[in-house]
Structure 1
Amino acid sequence: MNSRQQIILQTVIDKGQMSVADLAHMTGVSEVTIRQDLNTLEKQSYLRRTHGFAVPLDSDDVETRMMSNYTVKRALADFASSLVSPGETVFIENGSSNALLARKLGERRDITIITVSSYIAHLLKESQCDVILLGGIYQKKSESMVGPLTRQYIQQVHFSKAFIGIDGWQQETGFTGRDMMRTDVVNAVLEKGIEAIVLTDSSKFGVMHPYTLGPVERFQRVITDEKLSSEVHQQLRQADLIVDIVKPGITA
């Protein structure tokens, strides 16, 4: 990593996101050079590129994360929506793929969505479906409800399926999250014994974070994309999980 790339990375981390144009102006080089730098930093897993922007790997902003791998995440959401039956009530957790799923399901009148994400609730303000937003402590950065009150609300409502986002998976740890409070909310959902479905792009596999989601036996299904490695695919199957591999237009 050269000195300019170090400056770019630190600026992106400090600001949360930076446009290619702003980075070019700040460093005094062309946008072409900045794009090359961002490609290098992304390949080395220092940051992620979205449409015209660079963001830190661990950005909590749902809107920013939704634009990363948008086409893939939309395909995942479209497939996940096909698993929801008429008249069903489902829980949709926080996260970018889950937000796209909620938007897709919002086109239907015949379902009810329960969520802890104020972002998802706002996304569905003009939707056809019924929406229940559970209360709790408002975690501003992630736009999500967390804490003991949220746990109590989860215990008092009923749903048949839950779509869960994850931050990491390794065979030794199972599914993991990087935020303790949001992980606790997911575990409250899993304790209800409903059908739990992981909805995530393949970049989360092979990564480990501090907080356990699970145990893995409480999950039934994983929906992810074709970049999932064959090794991880086998690990998930060995854990008795149904694995749906999705890419735009094709499901396997």
Structure 2
Amino acid sequence: MNARQLQIVELVNQRGTISVAELSQLAGVSEVTVRQDLNVLEKGSYLKRIHGAAIATAGDDVGVRMKTRFPLKQRLAAYAASLVSNGESVFIEGGSANALLARSLAQNGDITIVTVSHYIAGLLKEAACEVIVLGGLYQKSSESVVGPLTRSGIGQVHFQKAFIGIDGWHADTGFTGRNMLRCDVVNAVLAKGVETWALTDSSKFGQIHPYAIASGGSHLQRVITDDGIGEEYQTQLAQRNITLRLINEAD
């Protein structure tokens, strides 16, 4: 690994996700050279390539992902927590920002958290709030449950608000995810028609992943993210009547 490739690995690990264009600017080389470097680094398992960008190899490990842009994710979670009222039941799907949201709500004894994430359930062992953990096929990498049993549980439990994670959004595809079964869980939540928010940092915008979120007539109309999101994405979201709440990227 040369010095430039080492710099690229460090940048990807710091940001979690970073575009080829930005890597080109920061490394002072062409995008063609960056793509060549990314091919080499992906073969060595130092990172993963996606459409137009590179992501850290943390995968679905929530504990590892939480360390990426941690202060920002805390602010996103704090804003999301402010939307929850006493007496409500809240579905929290999974992911690092949502785990921080669950922790923010943990000591409110007047709410109930419904989750598919056993990682989040573990964070709530000493919580004052009520916790409902749904069953299903356990995915070890994400520490979440998926599949028909999970969909059935979602259909039988009532909640007033839901917070989900996304892996990508692009004008051509809408919201997308990396894991088919986790996207299936999200679509089951959306089908209930409750107030649902996507909780995500701005690095996900511009990315395309294989599996559709908000398909089959369901709609995801609310997003909480940071003000690092590009103006073109803000415009595109507004054109689709998607409510956007922006949190300061920096303190």
Task: Provide closer, same or farther for how the CA distance between residues 210 and 58 of structure 1 changes in structure 2, counting only shifts above 3 A.
Answer: farther
- Partners in 1 of 2:170 and 2:58 — Cα distance? 18
- Cα offset, 1:239, TM superposition: 1.2
Aligned to 2:108: 108
CA distance in 1, matches of 2:202, 2:107: 26
State yes or no: 1:236 paired with 2:230.
no
1:82-161 correspondence to structure 2 within 5 Å: 82-161=82-161
Give the Cα–Cα distance (whole angstroms) in 2 for the partners of residues 37 and 186 of structure 1.
33
Aligned to 2:26: none
Aligned 8 A contact 1:92 1:114 in 2: yes
Letter in 2 for 1:214: A
Change (3 A) 1:40 1:156: closer
- Structure 2 unaligned runs (5+)? 24-37, 39-46, 49-54
Q: Is the 8 A contact 2:93 2:115 kept in 1?
A: yes
Q: Partners of 1:174 and 1:180 in 2: how far apart?
A: 15
Q: Report the equivalent of 1:207.
A: 207
Partner of 2:72: 72
Match of 1:218, SS?
coil
The residue aligned with 1:9 is none
- Structure-2 separation of matches of 1:104 and 1:198: 17
CA shift in 2, pair 1:214/1:98, >3 Å: same
The CA distance in 2 between the partners of 1:131 and 1:70, in whole Å, is 24
Q: Give yes or no for the alignment of 1:38 onto 2:9.
A: yes
Q: What SS is found at the alignment partner of 2:71?
A: helix
Equivalent residues of 2:58, 2:64 under 8 A apart = no
Contact 1:201/1:225, CA 8 A, preserved across alignment = yes
- Give the CA RMSD over aligned residues: 2.2
- Contact 1:75/1:249 (CA < 8 Å) preserved in 2? no
Deviations 1:97-148 (A, max 9, x none): 0000000010211100000000000001111100000000000010000011
Under a length normalisation based on structure 2, what TM-score does the superposition of the two structures give?
0.79
SS in structure 2 at match of 1:38: helix
For normalisation by structure 1, the TM-score amounts to 0.79
Instruction: Specify the alignment match of 2:192 in structure 1.
Output: 192
8 A contact 2:187–2:218 mirrored in 1: no
1: CA distance between counterparts of 2:63 and 2:221? 28
Counterpart AA for 1:84: V
**Matched residue, 1:28:** none
Q: How far apart, CA to CA, are the structure 2 residues paired with 1:158 and 1:209?
A: 30
1:226 aligns with 2:242: no
Gaps of 5+ in 1: 7-33, 49-54
- Distance apart, 1:3 and its partner CA: 4.9
Secondary structure of the 2:138 match is strand
Residue equivalent to 2:174: 174
Q: Distance in 1 between matches of 2:3 and 2:79?
A: 41
Letter in 1 for 2:226: D
1:5–1:41 CA contact under 8 A, matched in 2: no
1:136-174 CA-to-partner distances (Å, cap 9, x unmatched) read 000001000001110111110001111010000001111
Q: Give % identity.
A: 54
| Amino acid across the alignment from 1:234 | T
- Note if contact 1:135-1:145 (Cα within 8 Å) is conserved in structure 2: yes
SS of 1:131 mapped into structure 2? strand
SS at match of 1:91: strand
Shift of the 40–136 alpha-carbon distance from structure 1 to 2, 3 Å rule, reads closer
- Alpha-carbon distance, 1:39 to partner: 3.5
Are the counterparts in 1 of residues 169 and 175 from structure 2 also a CA contact under 8 Å? yes
